Structure 1
Amino acid sequence: MEAFFYLVPSVMIAGLLFGVFGLVRRSRRVVRAWDGGLTAQARCLRAYTTTSGGGDTAVGTTLHHVYEFGTRAGRVVRFEEANGPGTTVEGDIVTVHYAAEHPEEATARTPARNRLFAESGALLLFLGVAIAFCVFFMVTAHAMFAEADDFMP
Structure 2
Amino acid sequence: MVIAVVYLVVAVGAAVFYGGILDRQLQGPRLRAAWADGLTAEARCTGLRSEEAQDAEGAPVVHTHPTLEFRTADGRAVSFEERRARLTVAEGEFMTVYYSARNPESATTLAPSFVPRHARALTTAVGSAFALVTATVLAAFL
Same-fold call, TM > 0.5? yes
Task: Name the structure 1 match of 2:15.
Answer: none
Which residues of structure 1 form unaligned runs of 5+? Answer: 1-16, 126-153
Task: Name the structure 2 match of 1:69.
Answer: 70
**2:107 is equivalent to residue 106 of structure 1:** yes
1:63·1:83 contact (CA, 8 Å) conserved in 2? no
Task: Name the structure 1 match of 2:6.
Answer: none
Matches within 5 A, 1:1-153: 20=21, 22-23=24-25, 26-53=27-54, 57-114=58-115, 116=116
2:32·2:117 contact (CA, 8 Å) conserved in 1? no
Structure having the higher strand fraction is 1
- Deviations along 1:73-113, one digit per CA (max 9) or x if unpaired, are 12100000114344321111111111100011111112222
What is the DSSP-based 3-state SS (H/G/I as helix, E as strand, rest coil) of the residue aligned with 1:87? coil
Distance 1:72 1:94, change over 3 A: same
Equivalent AA in structure 1 for residue 65 of structure 2: H
If asked which structure has higher relative contact order (CA below 8 Å, sep 6+), I would say 2
When Rg is computed on C-alpha atoms for both structures, the one with the higher figure is 1
Using structure 1 for the length normalisation, give the TM-score: 0.54
What is the DSSP-based 3-state SS (H/G/I as helix, E as strand, rest coil) of the residue aligned with 1:40? strand
Cα distance, 1:57 vs structure 2: 4.5
Equivalent pairs counted in the alignment come to: 103
Which residues of structure 2 form unaligned runs of 5+? Answer: 1-17, 125-142
Runs (4+) of structure 1 moved beyond 6 Å?
none
2:65·2:87 contact (CA, 8 Å) conserved in 1? no
Using structure 2 for the length normalisation, give the TM-score: 0.58
